[in-house]
Amino acid sequence: QVYLVQSGAEVKKPGASVKVSCKASGFIFTSFGISWVRQAPGQGLEWMGWISAYNGNTNYAQNLQGRVTMTTDTSTTTAYMELRSLTSHDTAMYYCTRAGDALDMWGQGTMVTVSS
Amino acid sequence: QSVLTQPPSVSGAPGQRVTISCTGSSSNIGAGYDVHWYQQLPGTAPKLLIYGNSNRPSGVPDRFSGSKSGTSASLAITGLQAEDEADYYCQSYDSSLSGRYVFGTGTKVTVL
């Protein structure tokens, strides 16, 4: 069974950073990429970026360039997404996904709330 | 932010057929990139419903079908059931702006 298990909910103050983890199991981690997708409350899906678990190459959404960093640890088959300089607009559910031809497996989501 | 346009909502009675359109442009769907569809039930993570324009992953009922033509794609649900009430998103790839994945605006399907 393929699983993506994410870290727990976070509450951050404006200006802070958050790092969300995504533990993969049940497949060859380095054969896929990991994409991160977020969803603000009551809103649609927003693609944040992609990282190759094979070589660490990344491709970030333009509106997040400079604030987001995606990494992987192949020894623990875990992907990470760090978002800096948080504002209230970053309050959302954050999902990691297995990225092959499509986003065929999703984590359960991590709620990040930014509030003073 | 979304560059793929979907109707905000569609509805139908149980057993009916509904379709959801996904309109893009020459830099995404029209450029030949595949379209994928996701179903998001209330309070849950999205789930892949259709991949590669018209293919169903294992376990997805054949009531769901996808198609693509030109700069648009469509998702059809035949024999609508109560459990199909959910949000549906199309997704493709866009070659502009250094390339990125793009999602549709999302469509809420209501079973009357």
Interface of B with A in 30-89 (CB under 8 A): 34, 36, 38, 45-48, 51-52, 57, 89
Backbone torsion region of residue A42, taken as left when φ is above 0, otherwise alpha when ψ lies between -120 and 50, otherwise beta: left
Partner B contacted by A65 (CB < 8 A): no
Chain A (68-97) residues lying within 8 Å, Cβ to Cβ, of chain B:
95
- Residue pLDDT tens, chain B, 112 long: 578 999 999 999 999 999 999 999 999 999 999 999 999 999 999 999 999 999 999 999 999 999 999 999 999 999 999 999 999 999 999 988 665 899 999 999 999 9
Distance between CA A76 and CA A96 in Å, rounded?
16
Q: Using 50, 70 and 90 to split pLDDT, how confident is the model at A108? A: very high
Residue A84: the pLDDT is: 98
Predicted confidence at residue B73, as pLDDT, reads 98
Q: Does B102 contact A47 at a Cβ distance shorter than 8 Å?
A: yes
Q: What is the DSSP string of A30-60?
A: GGSEEEEEEE-TT--EEEEEEEETTT--EEE
- The whole-angstrom separation of Cα A20 and Cα A12 is 12
| A55-69 confidence digits (pLDDT tens) | 999 999 989 989 999
Mean pLDDT of the region A95-111: 95
**Number of C-beta neighbours around residue B57 at 10 A:** 13
- Taking an 8 Å cut-off on Cβ atoms, the answer to whether A106 and B36 are in contact is no
